[in-house]
Structure 1
Amino acid sequence: MRRKILVPLITLFLATYGEATFAQQVTSPKRHFGFRIGDDYMLANYKQMESYFLKVAQESDRVLIREAGLTEEGRKQYLLIVSSPENLKHIEKYRGISQRLGRAEGLTDSEALQLAKEGKPVVWIDGGMHSNETVGSHQLIETLYQLTSRNDEEILRYLDKVIILMWHVNPDGQDLIADWYMQYEDKEKRNMHIPVLYHKYVGHDNNRDYFMFNLKETENLAKVMYIDWLPQIIYNHHQTSPDGTIVAGPPYRDPFNHVFDPLLITGIDGVGAAMINRLNVEDKPGYVRLDQSTFSTWWNGGLRTAPYFRNMIGILTEITGNPTPSVIPAVAERQIPRNGLPNPVDPQKWHFRQSIDYSVSLNFAILDYAARNGDQLLYNFYKMGKNSIERGSRDHWTKYPKFAEAMERSYDEAVKSGKEAKKEPTGYYRSKIIPDSYYESVYKNPSNRDPRGYIISADQPDFGTAIKFVNALIKGGVYVYQSTSDFTYGGKRYPKNSIVVKTNQAFRPQILDMFEPQDHPHDVQYPGGPPVRPYDAAGWTLAMQMGVEYDRIYEDITAPLERKPYGELLKAPSVEVSVSKVGYILPAQSNDSFLAINRLLKSGHRVYRDEQSKDFFVEPRGRDIVVQVAREYGVRARGATVKSSRLKPIEKLKIGLYDYYGGSMPSGWVRWIFEQYGFEYRQFFPQDVDSRKIDDFDVLIFVGQGIPTGDGSGYRSRLPEASLVPEAYRHMLGELSRDKSVGVLKEYVEKGGKIITIGSSSAWVYGLNIGVTNPLVERNEEGKEVPLPSNKYYIPTSILRADIDVSKPENYGMPAQINIVFNNSPVFRIGESGQVYSLGKISTDKPLLSGWAHGQHYLKDTHIGVVATLGKGKVVAIGPEITNRAQAHATFKMLFNQLYK
């Protein structure tokens, strides 16, 4: 009798007294770190977190830990697999089921249903992506502790029903931020104003690499997520929420990408409902969603959004909170309950631990959803993959906005010409009803159907870059075929090693998204009003950015093809170089030729440019390096039979790359590019300009924001107080000024230097009095020139077509028409001064290839790049983003060509 009473009393006691709830065999965070996770003013670094992960994995039979690769700075990344001890004994079985259902190959519906019953849903939870968003990294610690230590019914159910994958996204940045923050003994002075980006190269843009996989961290994650595991739900933690709220989460606002399976969108809705419901049950207000948040499901490339293109439910939350206590401000409109914010939060002081508690609750909401709906999640995953395979095996029409617009336009024209009688809208909804024939003329038109695949010919000028593109697909879980011999298709002959990518596979949405244009809806606040800014890019088609040549397939293909295994990267076919006593030729069209050139120059070899063919010429003694690059990268080097009479020697320039305190992401991407292709460079900072230390360089490069523009505006760094910055970093402080810095830069050029600007800094040339002006302006009522308003002209990141002058040295090796990444970029009008020439222009009033270009007709006959002589030197201004996130390989040569003398 006493025993029956004692057991519930013990249970009540443990539930009441916090840490007493936890089993004692797992070390608590407070014991390991010396403070409770979420304590104000306290952060753990990655070294401490890593040791905790390893310790818990050793202490708990609920955890497996596996090394998953090194970061850019050489730290180890780990995959933590958390589930019941029984599940972990059979973990390969469950991983295999998740793979089979996600790829959906060779399964019947009944077999998939059975596998779904046998399997366990796989949920991914990560943190630490953006290192100054410290809630995300620290909730991993608290969540792991609770999952491995608590023995209540709720946790045991999650462990029994779900496989949980936990991942720290950016270990390098965690050490950097935490060590910086904790260096100040005075807690009130603790800050995160670090001097450099919190990723070695790209800072915040480490979440912009998830279809390209340039960075080691994204490549590590892709292998785990898209090759090895294929989770059904991905939960990506971020900060911060809109003012006056606590957390922004799903469901998200329109638009969503048209290639998605509808089950994906309703799947996001289901998970989102579980999340907000749990917070409301726990009296945790302030969850904002739908139109009250800024996040959509349109863009590819982020850790949360890229999984959508693989039929995975991606969840993003943006939560408030920092180790330094903050305030939830009073925002009047955020106090009105509505569908997007059903439970407003009161203004209040906010502590770090509150955000940790919210995050753990959100994690558990997702685990609860997965535990309750595991069979359906697994089967739906298969169903979406099966739908993709079927759509790629027959004629299918994706319902892009352009098709609906064409249908309506065709009908309106018929009404206007009298071919159709005008019908007034009828019914309750007053909809315009269009005859079915107009629907069929668009959505059954063979020319509008989706391709069933793509052929990438091995004989294109820069096949090495095409291989890089294909490897990005493979890293992301797509499988490809490679031809084992020459073949003919559609009357065209393709050589051996050509690549075929078929769309009859589960990750079909990803394939279409990488090859086909994005058709962003015309999204405005109201008819004729300003555009609604996309969350990120509007258009990004990777094959276009990289300049890959490909042909579309609209029926099945019979050819000598070998299917490559999932995750097995391709190598460019090795090129054998014949021995020559004359020398060797490296093709100007190949980006990897520049890698060879830089290795040759570094080794003391002579390299020349043939001003007739534009190719590079190497003397015979450079053969070893030429052969190495030809074999390793497939550069089509060849032995020369005669020596051209128009050879011009080239030498390295001393390259200065602009950066500032806190770090420039566009500049960081260029650092990464330079290191891949062997360019040597040094960084310089605003103080180096004003003190004229830039005279040490032959060329200065400004990418993105930096130089004050013609109207006096420019980038202003978020600078900390100098007293809070250790002496070693104070040389990075400061910013460029129009009054002083611009004059120093002009003087630098006039004395013989060269300045290259890419992107927004290029607008500085409007104020140099060299006959270059801004064509995207109009006169206001006062007669003053002002930029075109956004309701007339607005082009968020998209891909446009431009013509370039291939006779100009800056454009050597490029085709006459190029695809440019354009983000409201500067363009130019050239006067008749004679000191300026154009690198290329937009010749049409409809240059858009992929994305969204409102008012694109304003770009007709504008120049995308100009070169001006200024004294003894040169200014080169290129408006488009020719180095965009290390993705725009098609335009790298516009920069590379200028880095020699």
Structure 2
Amino acid sequence: MKTRFFSGLLLGLLACQALFAQKIDEEYGAKIQEYTTDPRFLPSSVLGIIDHPEIPSPKKHFGQIIGSPGIMHGTKEIYGYYQLLAEKSPHLSIEQVETTEEGRPIYMVIIGGDDSMNRLDHYKSQLSKLADPRITSSEEAKAIIADSKPVYYLNGGMHSTEMGSPEMLMELAYRLITSEDEAIKNIRENLILLINPVSEPDGRDKQVDWYHRYTKARTEWDDGFPRSTPYWGKYVFHDNNRDGLQVSQGITKGIFKIFFEWHPLVMLDLHESVPLLYISTGTGPYNEQVDPITISEWQIMANSDIASLAGQGMPGAFTWAFYDGWWPGYGIWVANNHNSNGRFYETFGNAGANTYMRDLSNARYAGDPATSREWYRPDPPTEKVYWSARNNVNYMQAGVLASLTYAAHNGEQLLKNFYQKGVNSIQKGKTEGPKAFIIPKEQKDPAMAAYLANQLRAQHIEVHQAVSGENEGDYVVLMDQPYRNLAYNLLTEQKYPKEAKFPPYDDIAWTLGYLYGVDVEKSDSISYEDQDLQLLTEDAVYQGAISGNGKNYFIPYQAQNTVLPALYWLKKENQNASIQIIEKEFVLDADTLPKGSVFLEGISNKQADQIASEFGLDLIQGSQTPDSDKVHDVTLPKVAIYHTWFNTQDEGWSRYTFEQRGIPYTSIDKDDLKAGGLKDKFDVILVPRARGNGANFIHGVTTEFGPLPFTKTAEYPSHGYPDSSPDITGGPGFAGMDNLKKFVEEGGVIITLDNSTNMVAETGIVRNLDSYSASGLFHPGSVVTVKIKQSESPVLYGFPETFPIFRGNGPLYRVDLKDRDMMLLQYGTKPLKDEIAYQGPIMGKPDQEKVEKKKDENGKDVPYVRSGMVRNEQTIIGHGSIFNIPVGKGTVLAFTFDPLHRYLNHHDAPLVWNALINWNHLK
């Protein structure tokens, strides 16, 4: 007994000695206080930085503390500091998880106590077992939970103008590996912490250069100066947090790789926008496929964080009144979609390290002023705050420490919840319909069916394939699996409530069958007694087939996504190949080819085989030749994609889509329009969606602050990519617009998508389009029905009379009745009132036949909304969705939706590919 007593006393004395032996860095603390503008913005939890004798603090390494005025660090500096910490401390390691589109590394930092760092593989394995209750019984789960630690993931630097988190995370990491404070030790010993310090390194470096080049010298926040570099990633700007369904960008691949390797129980994404600290729960409506356990975790963790900040006297922390909780495609929603917990913060940032007076008097969230005291905001800020970078660091770090403390104290419950959510998902798959989703092998575009299967697999949803029997080749998603809820979410229609009090935060529909143009069937009594199912363990590939006999080849056209890329490839391989489009139905032996089908002459058998195998296209051989008056030659166009300098978001998605499809293009900007001679260089100019109006397009970034070079220099090496300009201010001007008009008058084609149609309508390039304001229309991103108006238009080849497209809020236009032949496609199936034929009696003529309304296969009216929600939809039905407007020798093809939205609505993209294939036959 005495031995045990003295041993315990000795251990306690040693612990106290270690604690008291730690030297506090008084100078660091003094600087924190100096750079914090108000004592209420200074929580006790961020003080007490240790002056470690061997491990350098940020101040010792960089020469300044984190949050110092005017100091922002690039990725090489940030990663270099973590690598130094890894060399100095056994409690931290760093490893590369991904590479960006521009070749920068994406790193992950791991922090834990001695036991955690020595047994990382063990703890990863434990969470992997809990992730799949099919391999882990409830009794086994109890033992695993007793020998497991929660993994907590912090994601920084996603949105590049939100510059504070990559800075704060360095100080947090140093604190966690050096402090022997009991609260910190509790976190270190009871959690495994993963940090993605800069999840978008390309944008971080561009933004840090922009800050030092331009905005560091600014003294007023509301001076109108552009706070952001024109590009973040190579392709994607703010939408890098909308890629969680596509998983197309390096940033998302890095986040997904971390999640599926580690199965973190909580993922916290660090953003900056609203005052002073928003902790996510959302106003709702919540996504209906999120487990109620997760929704409850959102609430309890948010309120725990707010209570911690309130306990330190910090004003301005709130929850609920920002965001909704519906869209499942955010990066961090990989957690919510896979039985973990995905959350985010929004702290108040200044897009740099300057201190500004910020006016909150006009800021409102969920209808309430940001400065009002509410149940969800118990201690509001004042209408004006004098805000510094250090204030931002304090709030972010105090919140994170509070959240880590909660997880460290409640690890067992979080582990139980994680396992139980998997159990719930499997049980729903067994007891609720459907029991399976079937993706039949017979599709308009079979390659897209394979793509759908692969996108489900990217989400770690299990997909089987029938390998025998009459359904051989079908893809089958059995629902008794851990991620059943996500599979259901992605494959069924969304029903966003029309009565929702607050507008949705983002798109509200994402049914992948509609977006990919793939038929998906539900099955409530799936049985494969006569055939086997094989789990896909690698990506599915559709190999096109060649049938028939003869020297010529035909591609039956059904608006397949890979036809245009195949034609570009063929012309590159064989310049003598003849490519023609069949304009009428063509009977080829036992097959009837639809209009738009491709007739190929002069190609080798090997080239035909490559088209079938590499592009997933079916070909038919035959000896017949279509009549010359029923075909037209294909001259593949030289395409330019135009970008503004004030909004590159959707232009980036268009470039990405073209590159993924193998469609060559040239990127152009205002300087190219001003230079003129456009028709000598290009056949088609695509103008992707860009915010603003015609005046914005003409004048661009205000010249008040010019010149603003975006060029690569020795001092600013990240600038000038993916495009450069000696001055990004100003637009093409009236001279540039005149050159654009000359381009189309001389025979070119301009394709405008969504909001960019404003440009051609408001600047007079076209005179026929009038803006139309649909009274009361609210049309957030949803899948809706459209109907063909001009069935002979090549733009609509391969599409049925009615079909779904994806549309969000955007401009509407109309043409006079006499020009209604310019309207190729309409919203909904009912005509406009002025198009409805008079049905009453006419003196001197017999009674007219009544026209039957369009019905679907069930005999019901085709609904306008397929997935999502539209309010006052009657005000848009009948109006044009695509207009084909002749201008001189050329054409303007004006879309009032975006068929290249976020590399997601692949079903709609062939409307653009049709225009490119047939660019000189659109009239």
Gap change, CA 1:686 and 1:507, over 3 Å in 2: same
Q: Is the 8 A contact 2:216 2:353 kept in 1?
A: no
Separation in 2 of the partners of 1:537 and 1:87?
40
Matches for 1:298-313 after TM superposition, within 5 Å: 298-313=326-341
Alignment match, 1:398:
none
Alignment match, 1:480:
463
Say whether 1:240 aligns with 2:235: no
Matches for 1:160-559 after TM superposition, within 5 Å: 160-167=189-196, 168-183=198-213, 187-188=217-218, 193=227, 196-225=230-259, 227-241=260-274, 245-291=275-321, 294-321=322-349, 322-331=352-361, 333-346=369-382, 347-395=384-432, 450-487=433-470, 494=471, 496-523=472-499, 525=501, 532-558=502-528
Say whether 1:65 aligns with 2:94: yes
Gap change, CA 1:6 and 1:658, over 3 Å in 2: closer
More divergent stretch after superposition (312-321 vs 841-850): 841-850
Q: Which amino acid aligns with 2:687?
A: F
Structure 2 spans left out of the alignment, 5+ residues:
1-8, 30-47, 363-368, 585-592, 712-723, 831-862
Gap change, CA 1:46 and 1:324, over 3 Å in 2: same
> Is the partner of 1:820 in helix, strand or coil?
strand
Deviation digits for residues 513-569 of structure 1 (CA, Å, limit 9, x no counterpart): 2111111112455xxxxxx3211112222221111111111134325344536xx44
> Is the partner of 2:431 in helix, strand or coil?
coil
How far is the alpha carbon of 1:898 from its aligned partner? 1.7
How far is the alpha carbon of 1:662 from its aligned partner? 4.2
Q: Which amino acid aligns with 1:819?
A: P
Separation in 2 of the partners of 1:392 and 1:516?
14
What is the percentage of aligned positions where both structures have the same residue?
Answer: 24
Matches for 1:139-158 after TM superposition, within 5 Å: 139-158=168-187
Separation in 2 of the partners of 1:83 and 1:192?
41
Gap change, CA 1:573 and 1:740, over 3 Å in 2: closer
Aligned-residue RMSD, C-alpha: 3.1
Q: Is the 8 A contact 2:256 2:334 kept in 1?
A: no
Q: Which amino acid aligns with 2:641?
A: L
Separation in 2 of the partners of 1:6 and 1:103?
43
Q: Which amino acid aligns with 1:755?
A: I
How far is the alpha carbon of 1:137 from its aligned partner? 2.1
Alignment match, 2:913:
896
The aligned length equals 811
Q: Is the 8 A contact 2:675 2:736 kept in 1?
A: no
Q: Which amino acid aligns with 1:269?
A: Q
Gap change, CA 1:282 and 1:210, over 3 Å in 2: same
Select 1:573's aligned residue among 542, 545, 553.
Answer: 542
Alignment match, 2:899:
882
TM-score scaled by length of structure 2: 0.82
Select 1:610's aligned residue among 581, 605, 609.
Answer: 581
> Is the partner of 2:755 in helix, strand or coil?
helix
Alignment match, 2:729:
733
Q: 4+ residue stretches of structure 1 with deviation over 6 A?
A: 3-6, 189-192, 578-581, 712-716
Gap change, CA 1:368 and 1:598, over 3 Å in 2: same
How far is the alpha carbon of 1:459 from its aligned partner? 2.1
> Is the partner of 1:864 in helix, strand or coil?
strand
How far is the alpha carbon of 1:573 from its aligned partner? 3.5
Deviation digits for residues 469-494 of structure 1 (CA, Å, limit 9, x no counterpart): 2222111121111111233xxxxxx3
Say whether 1:820 aligns with 2:815: no
More divergent stretch after superposition (820-829 vs 330-339): 330-339
How far is the alpha carbon of 1:265 from its aligned partner? 0.7
Q: Which amino acid aligns with 1:860?
A: I
Say whether 1:588 aligns with 2:588: no
More divergent stretch after superposition (573-582 vs 833-842): 573-582
Q: Is the 8 A contact 1:821 1:882 kept in 2?
A: yes
How far is the alpha carbon of 1:218 from its aligned partner? 1.3
Alignment match, 1:631:
613
Q: Which amino acid aligns with 2:493?
A: P
Deviation digits for residues 584-610 of structure 1 (CA, Å, limit 9, x no counterpart): 334433212222212222334334133
Say whether 1:751 aligns with 2:746: yes
Gap change, CA 1:632 and 1:120, over 3 Å in 2: farther
Q: Which amino acid aligns with 1:478?
A: I
Select 1:873's aligned residue among 890, 894, 901.
Answer: 890
How far is the alpha carbon of 1:48 from its aligned partner? 1.8
Separation in 1 of the partners of 2:77 and 2:18?
38
More divergent stretch after superposition (193-202 vs 154-163): 193-202
Q: Is the 8 A contact 2:544 2:613 kept in 1?
A: yes
Q: Which amino acid aligns with 1:357?
A: N
Gap change, CA 1:507 and 1:9, over 3 Å in 2: closer
Q: Is the 8 A contact 2:255 2:331 kept in 1?
A: no
Q: Which amino acid aligns with 2:447?
A: G
How far is the alpha carbon of 1:79 from its aligned partner? 2.3
Deviation digits for residues 875-896 of structure 1 (CA, Å, limit 9, x no counterpart): 1111122111111110111101
Matches for 1:22-41 after TM superposition, within 5 Å: 22-41=51-70
Q: Is the 8 A contact 2:647 2:691 kept in 1?
A: no
Deviation digits for residues 278-302 of structure 1 (CA, Å, limit 9, x no counterpart): 21222222112213xx211111111
Select 1:857's aligned residue among 874, 894, 901.
Answer: 874
Deviation digits for residues 494-521 of structure 1 (CA, Å, limit 9, x no counterpart): 3x22111122222222112211111111
Separation in 2 of the partners of 1:34 and 1:192?
29
Q: Is the 8 A contact 1:587 1:593 kept in 2?
A: no
Select 1:679's aligned residue among 655, 663, 669.
Answer: 663
TM-score scaled by length of structure 1: 0.84
Q: Is the 8 A contact 1:370 1:377 kept in 2?
A: yes
Matches for 1:98-177 after TM superposition, within 5 Å: 98-167=127-196, 168-177=198-207
> Is the partner of 1:824 in helix, strand or coil?
coil
Q: Which amino acid aligns with 1:677?
A: R
Separation in 1 of the partners of 2:600 and 2:768?
38
Q: Which amino acid aligns with 1:224?
A: I
Separation in 2 of the partners of 1:153 and 1:820?
57
Q: Is the 8 A contact 2:823 2:884 kept in 1?
A: yes
Alignment match, 1:698:
683
Structure 1 spans left out of the alignment, 5+ residues:
396-449, 488-493, 526-531, 777-786
Q: Is the 8 A contact 1:480 1:501 kept in 2?
A: yes
Select 1:651's aligned residue among 635, 651, 654.
Answer: 635
